[in-house]
């Protein structure tokens, strides 16, 4: 791209938008800006518009140039933009629009430069950004609720060994620079959600108000367990080196029976997504039988918030969704090939405790699968030792 094309593209983007008449010209200009990979052209853009780093248009899918350069792995462009950033007055370094809406109701759906680089596993770019933007909070939360540490831990399926080494290097770098390893992915309760059974219908129709979801959508370990083919060395690092809490549960929505909220631990998340290698890895890190029972069949997980939200009666208590129950829900939703036996251990005592553990003091795995109308899955649970004589209203945990 030459300097003239860059100058013309910027001129188009800075002019007031006049509707469909300008649509083609703006789309072409946006494409020019996204594909910039020429330092001379970049310098021209900076001269024309010194606030280039803050240029974005959520309604047109235009993220800030630094985020775009990170996505495309353009190291020289990143260096040039960071060099320019040092010269900008503090009042011009405004946060991106993922923190606010445009007048037309749109807001950016991209991450920060750092969370984007962490998600992609680019150790070289993460180091470049952390060195070049020392004023940026290492725990800044992006539009999707991720901190840099959470982005790196979330990972990508089927990475090579070299890519996994880079991701581990990122996690260690972030820890060295003060990253909160216990952060949770930020999320809000929807207008239609409440933490108790006294629900105000008026909430549904009011403007959206951010109401923090207890425990967010999980800690780094929960997010990593969602990625079925994630290298298990990431999980081992999170538990053994970072000290991420394997018993810490997050509040999620599951539409089943008469209730739709339950706390779920990282092991439960892995079970629901069919992450068998992840489940095996976490169980192997806690080899004692007592630890296995705690992971698979008890509700003494670290609940967020503490104490649990007040309920009207013991039957309405909001407990942990056991991993086996979560696995059965996942198998039902995703029609996946994994089975209940993939979550259980070979220890007969643990298997017996798990197969008949009662969710919400009412429903054992057998009660749950009877509502799925799937005979093979029901027979599988019976074969594993489910008690056929326990009525749902008398089940105990």
Query: Could you read off the pLDDT of 213-233 as tens digits, one per residue?
Result: 777 889 999 999 999 888 999
Expressed in percent and rounded to 5, the helix, strand and coil fractions of the chain are: 50, 5, 45
**Nearest of 175, 188, 174 to residue 143 by alpha carbon:** 188
Pick from 19-28, 116-125, 384-393 the range whose average pLDDT is largest.
Answer: 116-125
Q: Give the chain's end-to-end CA distance (angstroms, integer).
A: 66
Burial (CB count within 10 angstroms: exposed 0-12, middle 13-18, buried 19+), residue 21: exposed
Contact call for residues 109 and 64 (beta carbons, < 8 A):
no
> CB under 8 Å to 71, separation ≥6 — which residues?
63, 116, 120
Q: Count of alpha carbons within 13 Å of 85, Cβ hemisphere only?
A: 21
List helix spans (H) across 219-315.
Answer: 220-225, 232-240, 266-272, 276-285, 289-297
DSSP 316: G
Strand partners, 98: none
Tens digit of each residue's pLDDT (9 = 90 or more) over 253-304: 776 554 567 889 999 999 888 888 999 899 999 988 888 888 888 877 777 6
DSSP one-letter string for 140-177 = ---TTS--HHHHHHH--TT--HHHHHHHHHHHHHHHHT
Give dist(CA 13, CA 30) in Å, integer: 8
Model confidence over 122-161: pLDDT tens digits? 999 999 999 988 888 899 988 888 999 999 998 888 889 9
């Amino acid at each position: 791209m030459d300097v003239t094309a860059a100058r013309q593209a910027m001129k188009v983007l800075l002019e007031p938008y006049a509707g469909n008449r300008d649509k083609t010209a703006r789309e072409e200009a946006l494409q020019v800006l996204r594909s910039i990979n020429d330092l001379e052209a970049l310098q021209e853009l900076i001269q024309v518009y010194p606030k280039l780093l803050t240029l974005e248009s959520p309604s047109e899918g235009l993220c800030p140039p630094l985020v775009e350069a990170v996505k495309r792995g353009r190291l020289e462009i990143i260096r040039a933009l960071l060099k320019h950033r040092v010269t900008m007055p503090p009042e011009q370094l405004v946060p991106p629009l993922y923190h606010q809406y445009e007048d037309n109701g749109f807001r950016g759906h991209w991450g920060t430069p750092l969370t984007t680089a962490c998600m992609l596993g680019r150790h070289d770019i993460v180091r470049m950004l952390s060195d070049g933007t020392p004023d940026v909070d290492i725990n800044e939360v992006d539009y999707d609720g991720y901190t840099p540490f959470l982005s790196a831990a979330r990972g990508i399926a089927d990475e090579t060994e070299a890519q996994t080494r880079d991701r581990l290097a990122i996690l260690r770098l972030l820890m060295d620079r003060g990253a909160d390893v216990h952060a949770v992915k930020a999320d809000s309760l929807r207008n239609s959600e409440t933490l108790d059974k006294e629900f105000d219908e008026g909430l549904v129709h009011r403007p959206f108000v951010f109401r923090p979801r207890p425990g967010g959508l999980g800690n780094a370990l929960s997010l990593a367990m969602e990625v079925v083919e994630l290298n298990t060395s990431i999980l081992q690092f999170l538990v053994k080196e970072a000290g991420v809490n394997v018993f810490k549960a997050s509040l999620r929505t599951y539409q089943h029976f008469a209730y739709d909220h339950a706390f779920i631990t990282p092991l439960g998340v892995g079970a629901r997504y069919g992450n068998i290698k992840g489940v095996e890895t976490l169980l192997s890190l806690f080899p004692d039988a007592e630890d296995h029972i705690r992971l698979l069949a008890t509700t003494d997980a670290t609940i967020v918030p503490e104490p649990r939200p007040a309920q009207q009666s013991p039957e309405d208590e909001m407990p942990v969704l056991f991993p086996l129950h979560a696995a059965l829900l996942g198998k039902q939703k995703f029609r996946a090939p994994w089975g209940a036996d993939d979550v259980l251990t070979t220890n007969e005592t643990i298997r017996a405790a798990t197969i008949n553990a009662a969710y919400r003091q009412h429903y054992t795995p057998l009660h749950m699968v009877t509502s799925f109308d799937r005979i093979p899955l029901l027979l599988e649970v019976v074969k594993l030792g489910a008690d056929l004589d326990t009525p749902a209203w008398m089940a105990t945990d």
